[in-house]
Structure 1
Amino acid sequence: MIDLRRLHMLRVLRQQGTVTAAAEALHLTPSAVSHHLRELARELKVPLLEPQGRGVRLTPAGHLLIDHADALLARWEEAQAELESYRAGTTGPLRLAGFTTAISGLIAPAAGRLRHSHPDLQVRVRECETAESMDLLVAGEVDIAVVEPIEDGPPPDDARFEQSPLLEEPHLMLVPADHPLARAASVRLEDAADEDWIVSDPGACDHAQRVRMLCAAAGFSPRIVHAATHWPAIWSLVGNGLGVSLVPRLAEGPAGQAVARMPLSGGNTPTRRILTCVRRGSRRNPLIDLGIRALEEAARDHEPRNDRPRFAA
């Protein structure tokens, strides 16, 4: 009989790229991971790994096994979900991960609701970017990830994951409260073509790339003058008159900053798509289903409506 844990280790190795990184994700030693994978190859009577520089890579047989491992592990998740359905579904840990604004706008409200409706449920929240959330899902470290589509991210039909739309979030233009644009009912991106722009540091997320792409679609190249790592810093720079920025609706800044969040109009109104992601086969787990329904309830609080300028004094 094949040990499903060893299949899982092989899949994590493929995800992480090295034995050392896979061992860290699995909370094992590299020697233990290597031992289990050698045993798996011996049981199957085919080589699964081959040297590549100082590391290893999957052989063609290893890639073939991975394809079947995704299906086998998905069925195992389904079996666990079926067994879990015999339980009340209101106790035990539920682990959620997501990027910063997803936590503040969606995960934290959902976790708060669950704490009041199911006090015996142990909800655990972890802040991380989408790529890390996917790694944590594969490693079994989290149950639900709230993510956004990213370059080189998994496609919708990835055999490892089930991805479902959660929220289509509009972007808003952030301008100083005394800026002429703050007096309008809505603005277009091209209205800020002559402004200095503030973006998030490229090392933090793809905000700068997104601003450049959206502004290019609106017919101009933004004059990016300032970069910050966190949304509160962007709020402060805008509030002190140093430029404008483009922020997702879920993003919030500190109180006391004189800024206006302006709804965008025109043919290039940008949005951000936010998804829930779970391991394929685990969606029927009652605890995971409970968590996703709480997230969907939190998302309904942010459904599109007729926005008016929002000020923070």
Structure 2
Amino acid sequence: MLEIPLLHALYAVHKHGSLSSAAETLHITTSAVSQRITKLERETGQRMIERLGRGVRLTDAAVILVDYAERILSLVNEAESALDGHRGAIAGQLSIAGFSTAVRGLLPPAIIALKEKHPKLGLKICEDEPNMSIRQLVRGDVDIAVVQDWFNAPLDLPEGLMKASLLDDVADVALPAQNPLAQRHMLELDDLADENWITWTPGSVCHSWLMQTFRACGVEPHVVHTAADYSTQLALVSSGLGICLIPRLGREPVPPGVRVIGVRPLLSRHVYAVWRRESARRPAIRAATDALVETALPTELSYNTKTSFPADAPVSSS
């Protein structure tokens, strides 16, 4: 008889490509993963993995079994969610993935509130780009994903997911203090057409959105530098190397020599929580999404009171 832990080990190796990575995901040792695969091979009478350099490759028999394992594990997760819902327990483990500024500005207060109400609930935060978080959610690697998309570039969500709106996050432009535009109190999008841009790396949601927004206006943005976090982008702006867009959620104090100014038309992204439909009855999912909504509401209300900023005033999300 095929045991769930054995199937879980095989599926983890399939997803992550090595025994060590599978062990890290399952929170067991590499030796334990190897033992489970060996036991699965004995029970099926077929080889499951072959060594491939430092990694491993699944055999044809394992590929067949992985397809069934994915469905079986999904059903197990659904059954556990149904039992949790019947029991009404807010306990166990819950993992939440989120993009960087959500992890910094939204998740910590929501997690603190959640743990105060439900001390038996274990929580884990994972930082990742929205597209990766959605893939992790669909695979069952995380329970909730906090994602974002821009007003003119909606994120494509797969079937079987549910979502709750959290907030609309406004973005402002950050410029070197010596830039002539830095003396303005509000900027038009057209004012920025000839500027040198510092943005996220190609392939990221924010980089794609910036390119799409300006191209829709008939302008090709001149991207001179890319960086994978806003702190680095602001440091480059402070050095006079270009301008960047900075959302207000999770914003850190800007460095000296940088001015933050509002833009018309308003540039905003929508932030929301997403979870699997089969997990909707799980009380921990409902409690976590409620905590996220309650935390986001005062954050968004505070954003609505800030439509522009003096040219000489740093801005933080607090």
Q: Work out whether the TM-score is over 0.5.
A: yes
**1:204 Cα deviation after fit:** 11
- TM-score w.r.t. structure 2 length? 0.72
Residue 26 of structure 2 is matched in structure 1 by 26
**1:51 Cα deviation after fit:** 5.4
- Aligned counterparts, 1:164-183, within 5 A: 164=163, 166-167=165-166, 169=169, 171-175=171-175, 179-180=180-181, 183=184
Match of 1:302 among 291, 300, 303: 300
How far, CA to CA, are the matches of 2:58 and 2:268 in structure 1? 39
Identity fraction in percent: 31
Cα deviations across residues 34-88 of structure 1 (Å, max 9, x unaligned)? 3322332443455544555664333444333333322222221222223323545
Is the contact made by 1:199 and 1:234 (CA closer than 8 Å) also made in structure 2?
Answer: yes
Is the contact made by 2:185 and 2:309 (CA closer than 8 Å) also made in structure 1?
Answer: no
**1:11 Cα deviation after fit:** 1.7
**1:21 Cα deviation after fit:** 1.9
**1:245 Cα deviation after fit:** 0.9
Q: Which stretch has the larger CA shift, 99-108 or 129-138?
A: 129-138
Residue 276 of structure 1 is matched in structure 2 by 273
Residue 253 of structure 2 is matched in structure 1 by 254
Q: Which stretch has the larger CA shift, 19-28 or 210-219?
A: 210-219
How far, CA to CA, are the matches of 2:65 and 2:156 in structure 1? 19
- Aligned counterparts, 1:135-284, within 5 A: 143-147=143-147, 156-157=158-159, 162=161, 164=163, 166-167=165-166, 169=169, 171-175=171-175, 179-180=180-181, 183=184, 185=186, 187-188=188-189, 190-200=190-200, 202=201, 207-208=206-207, 210-238=209-237, 242-254=241-253, 258-265=258-265, 272=269, 274-278=271-275, 281-284=278-281
Unpaired runs of 5+ residues, structure 2, are 150-154
Q: 1:148 to 1:48 in 2, by over 3 A?
A: farther
Matched, 1:6 2:3: no
Residue 74 of structure 2 is matched in structure 1 by 74
**1:290 Cα deviation after fit:** 0.4
Residue 62 of structure 1 is matched in structure 2 by 62
How far, CA to CA, are the matches of 1:155 and 1:46 in structure 2? 37
Aligned residues: 300
Q: Secondary structure at the match of 1:194?
A: coil
Partner AA of 1:57 in structure 2: R
**1:94 Cα deviation after fit:** 4.1
Partner AA of 2:158 in structure 1: P
Cα deviations across residues 255-290 of structure 1 (Å, max 9, x unaligned)? 67552242342xxx7654545344663332211220
Q: Secondary structure at the match of 1:310?
A: coil
**1:3 Cα deviation after fit:** 1.0
**1:114 Cα deviation after fit:** 2.6
How far, CA to CA, are the matches of 1:232 and 1:125 in structure 2? 24
Partner AA of 1:281 in structure 2: E
Residue 152 of structure 2 is matched in structure 1 by none
Q: Secondary structure at the match of 2:188?
A: coil
Partner AA of 1:302 in structure 2: E
Q: Secondary structure at the match of 1:85?
A: helix
How far, CA to CA, are the matches of 1:87 and 1:148 in structure 2? 33
How far, CA to CA, are the matches of 1:10 and 1:288 in structure 2? 27
